[in-house]
A and B are shown apart, each in its own frame.
Chain A
Amino acid sequence: MAESTGSTATPNGSSSTIEVRGLRKRYGAALAVDDLTFTVPPGRVTGFVGPNGAGKSTTLRLILGLDRPDGGTALVGGRPYRSLRRPITHLGAMLDASAVHPSRKASDHLLWMAHAAGLKKARVAEVLEQVGLSSVGRRAVGGYSLGMRQRLGIAAALLGDPPMLIFDEPVNGLDPDGVRWIRILLRSLAAEGRAVLVSSHLMSELEDTADHLVVIGRGRLIADTDVRSLLAAASDDRVVVRTTHRQEAMTSLSRAGATVAAGESGQVTVAGLPAERIAALLTSDGIPFTGLNEHRASLEEAYMDLTRDAVDYRERT
């Protein structure tokens, strides 16, 4: 399914980049988005991640021209979304897959969109095929499962065959099969040269999908980095030494220039020295140790580290 996207669009560099610059939006007293700047370039999946209430949805609404920013700009292929003629042929979006009239057939739901954008009626059957809903396209959406609705939402985003795509929490509530399907689809869309922005409040959902991450918290940018550097930064080469002679080990290692800290009983956390060097030092000083574990952070841990200060449970309605 995902492999048969059959896109004929060959999105070219600058005209298919989403650019957010100095974006700011205030709802009453709450600053939902605060001086946010990032870029979604073509050809890769950019993860847009942050805790609930961090301002992800607001940012997406601002990009799509649904709300007006109080400051800054959001450009889609170099132009504000609202100024685009037939915007869904530039940027396709899935914001809320449940936003469908339950009495309407899936095909009619896509048909009115196609009409509104001046697209050929044939596109409806094409995208239904692409997301695997051909056989149920003439059924009322009210009878759809969550996964089927999600697919319909994706079909709607793909309708205009746009070079840029936005998916807001696309795997929310999906079964593992569905999650895998979306992952493959997103990767293949990026491989076709499209700019893909995927938001999620769970880093784990993006771990195998995103090439690049934009992390926000309380409306502010926390990190704009590729996945590998984020992992490296979070791991920061810490090594945990297990030893019965904790005091001696700490003295010996700090003399060699490492930063040491006493961990749980019988453990020392060492930073600033590679594991091989630590093993050599302890051996030459005659300090016995039973374990030497290099600490590697998961993306989730890295994310938790980053957003610890930014978790904001205040819900915006």
Chain B
Amino acid sequence: MSEFGWLIRAEWTKLRSVPRWMMALGAAIGLTVLVALLTSAGAGSEATGGSGPDDSPRPPRGFQDGGSFTYKALPADGTLIARVVSQKDTSPWAKAGLMIRASQDRGAAHATVVLTPGHGVRMEADFKDRASTAATPGKPTWLKLTRTGPTVTGYTSQDGTTWRKLSTYRLSGPALLGLFVASPDQTKVIRQFGSESIDSFPAIANAVFDNVTPEPVGWTDSGAPEGPGAEGPDGAEITTFAWSDGKATMNGVNDLGPDLYGDDITRTTLTGILLGLIAVIAVAVLFVTTEYRKGMALTTYTISPRRGRVLAARTLVLGATGFVIGLVASVAALLLSAPLIRADKRRDISLTDPTVLRAVLCTALLVSLVMIFSLALATLFRNTAAAVGTALVGLLLPQIIATGLPLSAARWLTRLTPSAAFEAQQTFRHYDTALSPWPALAVLFLYAALTLALASRTLTTRDA
């Protein structure tokens, strides 16, 4: 075994041979699981985008598949053209246009060409943006969706003669082709220190089409979201489709697109790691400061005079320990609370889902980096209170303060502090998301690396 291998064995032996530390690390796992069970057993709100029976298909995590769709079956090739005459501005992201989809099932393969009040003409397929172009406000906009063989192509035009191609999409086999309207809910978010309340009610999307070719006669009106007819805010039923004088009028609720206010169940289930981290931070810090307080540091550096290598070995040992703790805690939390979530929210959290798996992996890395960050702080300060305090202030305080700040300030506070790493637990973008998972972890990684570099420098230049 190499000299560095010896050091790793030595540091691991030190860590595992203090029963109190091992118990605290076990408690970190226990706390995480406990919080997961409590949150998933508590009354939860229904995931936006409707709720169906257990086995009903669903749009991908973080998206909703709502709106009104009036269609005809399309066995093979075909084209649909329509002109959007007017659209109610319920949201910059309200949608009026054409859609082709494989089936009526939620989350089915689909492509849309739509006009929006605030974001021009857009082509979208399977919840991903394909293309967009500016639209002239107040002027009618032509839209065309055509399928030749398996290729679906979207077009837009100002005059119905000069068509501009937006993008293509592949969809073969029997499909549905028709008119479509949707609108995001109207949402009010109240943020207070330590809490947020989201109040949302459906906005009724409304649009008028003319020049619909072929004429929408005898088409199926799928309505929204549970079939024809839907309720407006006042509880009155709304007419989702009407055809007269060559004009098609459509109303609809709910959106097709990102569900920014949706319930990130995976993330909620994993929030318990916050409590677990307190134990983890304490162990990582005490692992170092106890040595200084009791004079054991002298023994350590007498046996291994190359102090930088000792620090490197500790980084590896604590980093690996943190990873395992995070992994075990999050897998256990998800597995144990899965039956409760299924019963309460009628939604499955599966570890085979790549997004959930990423959240688990990111949680493991988060714990690992927090342990390394704490180790570095402890080595730098040689003082328990200072190191634990700094770690807690960096990781937890911004989370508490952020809820009381305006959204943009909250986002920046999250991005600039080690607490950014908690964003890595998300499984989809939320209205207040500050960073995507990997950049979020990178922020904490930079903090840990910088502190480690400082610690290493003082360690090797200062007297023991």
Interface residues of chain A, those whose CB is within 8 Å of chain B, are 61, 64-68, 81-82, 84-85, 87-88, 93, 95-96, 98-101, 103-105, 108-109, 111-113, 115-118, 156
Contact = CB atoms under 8 A, between A and B. Distances in A.
A279 to B, nearest CB: 58
A93 B302 contact: yes
27 contacts: A61-B463, A64-B302, A65-B301, A66-B463, A66-B464, A67-B463, A81-B305, A85-B3, A88-B302, A93-B302, A95-B298, A99-B295, A101-B294, A103-B18, A103-B20, A104-B17, A108-B17, A109-B17, A112-B14, A112-B17, A115-B7, A115-B10, A116-B9, A117-B6, A117-B303, A118-B1, A118-B3
B6 A116 contact: yes
A115 B6 contact: yes
Contacts, number: 87
B138 interface: no
Nearest to A104: B17
Interface of B: 1, 3, 6-7, 9-11, 13-14, 17-20, 290, 294-296, 298-306, 463-464
A84 B20 contact: no
A99 B294 contact: yes
Contacts of A100: 294, 296
What are the 10 A-B residue pairs with the smallest beta carbon separation, nearest first? Answer: A116-B10, A108-B17, A99-B295, A112-B13, A115-B10, A115-B9, A67-B463, A66-B464, A82-B305, A118-B6
A101 B288 CA distance: 12
Given A95-B295, A103-B19, A117-B303, 12 more contacts: A66-B302, A82-B306, A87-B302, A99-B294, A100-B294, A100-B296, A101-B17, A104-B14, A104-B18, A109-B17, A112-B10, A117-B6
Contacts of B10: 112-113, 115-116
B67 to A, nearest CB: 62
Nearest to B9: A115
Given A98-B295, A118-B1, A67 B19 contact: no
A99 B464 contact: no
* Most chain A Cβ neighbours within 10 Å, of B1, B18, B298, B299: B299
A111 B13 contact: yes
A64 B464 CA distance: 11
* Most chain B Cβ neighbours within 10 Å, of A65, A67, A96, A101: A101
A96 B14 contact: no
* Most chain B Cβ neighbours within 10 Å, of A61, A85, A118: A118
B8 to A, nearest CB: 9
Nearest to B21: A103
Contacts of A111: 13, 17
Contacts of B18: 101, 103-104
A185 B331 CA distance: 55
A118 B10 CA distance: 9
Given A65-B305, A112-B10, A118-B6, A156 B298 contact: no
A133 to B, nearest CB: 16
Contacts of B3: 85, 118
A96 B295 contact: yes
